Amino acid sequence: MHNRLIQLNADYAAAIDDDRLEDWPGFFAADCLYRVTTRANYRRGLPAGLIYADSRDMLADRVLSLRKANVYEMQSYRHLVGVPRVLRADPQGGLKAATSFLVMRIDRQGGTDVFATGQYLDEIGADGDGLRFKVRDVVCDSSRIDTLLALPL
């Protein structure tokens, strides 16, 4: 299970970095929670400070919006993802895990900067043919958030 979780994270990151955004919702259960917030907000119990989606369909809508806005034309991303720490494994096969990430942004002029660091706080379950995220809370370390954060992390 652990190796499959490592692989899930690598595949998730590659879908975003390779601009295969349409594959991104498929990493989530149909009935899921995807939330992006800051560390400061998370500690105050505000896990949905920046982005909130509670279904795979909402994630697919978000991808459509991003395509319309051509946001991906202007930059690309590179995720570096750590090893997941399994915080809990329940008998039904569900997992809670925490995983560090660093995301770099590369703009069209070739400039490279740190887009975000933080950790994924995940609940993962077997779902049909593979593992899927039931909950993915993206907790960014920095409170200074780029307005482009609408992009998947």
Strands 130-140 and 112-127 turn out to be antiparallel
Going residue by residue from 109 to 148, which x/- string records binding to its own copies, judged by CB under 8 A?
xxxxxx--xxx---------------------xxxxx---
Nearer to its own copies, 3 or 147 (CB): 3
In the shown chain, the binding pattern of residues 10 to 49 toward its own copies, with x for contact by CB under 8 A and - for none, equals: xx-xx--x---------------------x----------
- Determine, following the binding rule CB under 8 A, whether residue 100 of this chain makes contact with its own copies: yes
- Report in angstroms the alpha-carbon separations of 110 from 11, 14, 40, 106: 25, 20, 31, 6
Q: Is the CB of 55 or the CB of 72 nearer to its own copies?
A: 72
CA 27 vs CA 45, 75, 109, 124, 143: distances in Å? 25, 23, 31, 10, 27
| Rounded (to 5) percent helix, strand, coil in the chain | 35, 45, 25
CB 126 within 8 A of CB 134: no
Does position 9 interact with its own copies (CB under 8 A)? The reply is yes
- By the criterion CB under 8 A, which residues form the site for its own copies? 2-3, 6-7, 9-11, 13-14, 17, 39, 76, 78-85, 98, 100, 102, 104, 106, 109-114, 117-119, 141-145
